Structure 1
Amino acid sequence: MDVTLRRADPGDDVAIRALLAGAFDANPKARADFTRWQYWDNPFGRVRSWVAEDGGEVVAHWAAVPVPLVLGGRRVVGAKGVDIATAESHRGRGLFTALGRRLVGDCADAGMPALLSHPNPRSAAAVERVGGRLVARVPVYVLPLDDRWLAERFRLPVPAARAARAAVFRIGRGDPVETVPVPPPDLDALWAHVAGAVRHGIVRDAAWWRWRYADRPERPYRIVVARRAGRLTGVAAVTTRAAFGARFGFVLELLAVDAAAARGLVCGLAAAADDAAGLALAAIPRSRLAALAVRAGFRRLPRRLEPHPLRFLVVAPGGDSAALAARPWSFAWGDLDHL
């Protein structure tokens, strides 16, 4: 039977969720409230979602979720590629590539100048076949909070690990902080202060934070804010999960006007991370986020502990993907929809 490729709409929601549930264990996209939040009620624009259908059954899917971007200092609506999945019965037929080409063409028709992708190893080749070009392999930076974890991972006696943590992973003093239940109302002023350093990447203003962290159906996040003389100087978000042989606080966002604000945020994140063995964040080397993280005590995780860093690719629908990928990009773990 011939497979049909077509644009999806809300009427396909049940079938798309069933496919995603079968492709990935414990996938939150199996829930209608998640696809409603990310796809159908997205405040930044209409989702571009494509399916392959065989005999009335959805057997493959790929979507581009609208996100606010800045490209070369200009604000635009771009897209984040998500939820590449093929039913086991239809793998090996080239459906990823066929769907991807239509998805990229749809984004071009919609005037979306960039499609961001952070694929798993199985999907990376498909993204490259439809024009994806590598921006960076994004390493992890860590701040150990537990001497025993540091001793085990770096093969040190515990007293030596304690001394190393005090000497190498020093946070230092920073701005006063507090943990808050929702993103602060004056986030736009903070974004305006730091936006000049973000030439290409997600617009992390109040609208982004509200959608990503307040409106998301599940919100396993702690939000920490820093202030100086009453003025918002930083905001960060953290979630705790198993990684690196322990429980770690994954820092999804770290916006700070300077190093003092970043150090204050990191102190607050350490307190909010619920007995985690450490904090971790991902940043493109030599980016502003990487520099702030290092000044707040983080150090890059050795390659032997992270043999396969995250791949960040970008497609320029209707344009030059290689030129777009070569530009200076910003990235944080909050760009990933599954964290």
Structure 2
Amino acid sequence: MEIRPVGTDAAALASYEALFRACFPGAGHLNAAYLQWLYARNPAGTVIGCDAWEGERLAAHYVCVPAQAVVNGRAMRTMLSLNTATHPDFQGKGLFTRLADATYQLGAQAGIGAVYGVANANSTPGFLRKLGFALVRPLDARVGFGRIERAAPVAAADGFRRDWSQAALEWRIANPQRAYRLVRAGDGTIGAEAATGKPGLLAWDELALPAGMPSPARSPAWAMRLHLGLRPGGGRPQGLWFEIPQRLRPSPLNMIFRPLAEGVAVPAADSVRLGQLDFDAF
């Protein structure tokens, strides 16, 4: 079995699309057009990851997406653990662990300070036991109306937050499979909303307006909002919001974090600012 860095050319993306099709028959969004946007167009850099090849067969694949962030008051390059797949013919051979270890080595060599992710209940234990991640905190899941915070984000209080530039944000909301639109939210904050596939329910996130970026002219749509994420101290919602009971969540989600550079610490559980835009829930 040969371990190689991932590619972003047409042939590589076609091989990844075929692997995803074999592993996840219902995930039609993982096509070459989506992968080209995600893997090659990100202003923060192309994906970092590794593939396992058995001769001419792609056995397994794992990538992390570079992202600028602030961790415990320090600006740094991080990466989001995202796409992984092992062909059914090669499962049970420990390939994901090998690919993850190789990927984190590449990330550290490229100046990445930490890797973070959002894992479901089934995959979280493997990340913690085998890959050296720490559990930061289970994500909040809320539905309601209004804003998820009464005031503009306070950056100094954040142990972790994505540091969105205008270019990076414009790339992010242009996801060819589920585009967001930016709307006014006030107080130096903008909202981002996207369809969830359920009538009358929009995915909703809020973030600080990037420096130099004009405030959106659009008004928010009148609909119930769904927010998945974390806010420092649990946040201070404005409006009418309800926490979704655990028994009604299809798969509870957890934020996980692993330092890759010296001096980087796991952020405190009540100091994280995370939303759908930051981990690709929609």
User: Is the TM-score greater than 0.5?
Assistant: yes
Deviation at 1:66, TM superposition (A): 0.6
Task: For residue 196 of structure 1, report the CA deviation from its aligned partner.
Answer: 3.2
Q: Distance in 2 between matches of 1:226 and 1:337?
A: 21
Q: Aligned pair 1:250/2:192, yes or no?
A: no
**Alignment length (residue pairs):** 268
Q: Secondary structure at the match of 1:37?
A: helix
Structure 1, unaligned stretches of length 5 or more? 145-170, 176-189, 258-264
Shift of 1:256: 6.3
After TM superposition, give the deviation of residue 137 of structure 1 in Å. Answer: 0.5
Partner of 2:213: none
Evaluate the alpha carbon distance shift between residue 58 and residue 331 of structure 1 in structure 2; reply closer, same or farther with a 3 A threshold: same
Q: Which residue of 1 aligns with 2:245?
A: 302
Compute the TM-score of the two structures, normalised by the length of structure 2.
0.82
- Residue of 217, 223, 238 corresponding to 2:182: 223
* Structure with max Cα Rg: 1
Q: Deviations over 1:157-209 (max 9, x none)?
A: xxxxxxxxxxxxxx59xx9xxxxxxxxxxxxxx99x74334331211342332
Note the alpha carbon deviations across 1:31-78, whole angstroms, 9 max, x for none. Answer: 2x3222221232112321200111211110111111111112222111
| Matched AA of 1:248 | L
SS at match of 1:36: helix
Output the CA distance in 2 between the equivalents of 1:104 and 1:89: 25
**2:156 aligned partner:** 196
Query: Which residue in 2 is equivalent to 1:18?
Result: 18
In the alignment, structure 2 segments of 5+ residues that lack a partner are: 210-215
Cα root mean square deviation, aligned = 3.1
Change (3 A) 1:307 1:320: farther
Amino-acid identity (%): 25
d(CA) in 2 for partners of 1:45 and 1:298?
A: 36
Give the structure with the larger helix fraction: 1
Question: Counterpart of 2:136?
Answer: 135
- Alignment deviations for residues 192-239 of structure 1 (CA, whole Å, 9 cap, x no partner): x7433433121134233212114x334533322145xxxx63311111
- TM-score scaled by length of structure 1: 0.70
User: Which has the larger strand fraction?
Assistant: 2
3-state SS of paired residue (1:217)? coil
Give the aligned partner of residue 329 of structure 1: 272
**Structure-to-structure mapping, 1:157-306, within 5 angstroms:** 171=146, 194-214=154-174, 216-227=175-186, 233-242=188-197, 248-251=201-204, 253-255=205-207, 269-271=220-222, 273=223, 278-284=224-230, 287=232, 290-292=234-236, 294-306=237-249
Partner of 1:312 in structure 2? 255
Q: Distance in 2 between matches of 1:15 and 1:100?
A: 19
Give the corresponding residue for 2:212.
none
Matches of 1:73 and 1:331 in 2, distance apart?
15
